[in-house]
Structure 1
Amino acid sequence: MDVLIHFFVGLHIIGIAALLGGFLTQMSAIKQGNARFNKAMLHGALTMLVTGIALVGLNQADDNTVNNIKIGVKLAVLIVVLGIVYVKRDEETAEKGLFAAVGGLTMANIFIAVLWT
């Protein structure tokens, strides 16, 4: 079971990398006002959602303790990010505030995962 859990952790990190990487590669575009939400960001957020749900289920099935409040906060932040990216994915440019919010919330989700014990 540990191998399967670690596999999904790896996939979860790949999702985070896609979402945050899509944001970071467009930092200069934010200043110019032509940043946009790309497919990597959408697929990264979806990957995070699916693998996160799988990780909770696998950890509970393996009788590991799961901090449900932490998972709920992370899920709420991810749903906000996913909603913004999904709704604005077809627009030519994204508003600076929304784009920055997605990056900030993504980083907040990472720090919640790492620092909340």
Structure 2
Amino acid sequence: MDVLIHLFVGLHIIGIASLLGGFLTQMKAMGDGTARFSPAMLHGALTMLITGVALVGLNQADDNEVNNLKIGIKMAVLVVILGLVYLKRDEERVDKAMFGAVGALTTANIFIAVLWT
């Protein structure tokens, strides 16, 4: 079971990298007002959602303790990210504030995962 959990953790990190990488590569475009949500950002957020749910289930099945409050907050932040990216995925330009919010929420989600013990 540990191998499967580690596999999903790796996939979860790939999703985070895709979402945050899509944001970071367009920071200059955000300053110019021409940033847009790339398909990689949407796929990264979806990957995070699917693998995160799988990780909770696998950890509970393996009798590991799961902090439901932490997972709930991370899920709520991710749903907001996913909603913003999904709704504006086809637009040529996304508002600076909205694009920045996705980057800030993604970063916050990473720090919640790492620092909340």
Q: TM-score, normalised by structure 2?
A: 1.00
Distance 1:25 1:31 in 2: 12
Distance 2:55 2:112 in 1: 16
In structure 1, the partner of 2:87 is: 87
2:105 aligned partner, one-letter code = L
In structure 2, the partner of 1:104 is: 104
User: 1:12-27 alignment to 2 at 5 Å?
Assistant: 12-27=12-27
- Displacement of 1:33 in angstroms is 0.5
- Displacement of 1:74 in angstroms is 0.0
In structure 2, the partner of 1:64 is: 64
In structure 1, the partner of 2:47 is: 47
Q: TM-score, normalised by structure 1?
A: 1.00
Structure 1 residue runs of 4 or more that deviate by more than 4 Å after TM superposition: none
Q: When the two structures are aligned, how many residues end up with a matched partner?
A: 117
2:110 aligned partner, one-letter code = I
Q: What is the aligned-residue identity percentage?
A: 77
Could you list the per-position Cα deviations for residues 18-61 of structure 1 after superposition, in whole angstroms to 9, with x for gaps in the alignment? 00000000000011100000100000000000000000000000
Task: Please list every run of 5 or more consecutive structure 2 residues that lacks an aligned counterpart in the other structure.
Answer: none
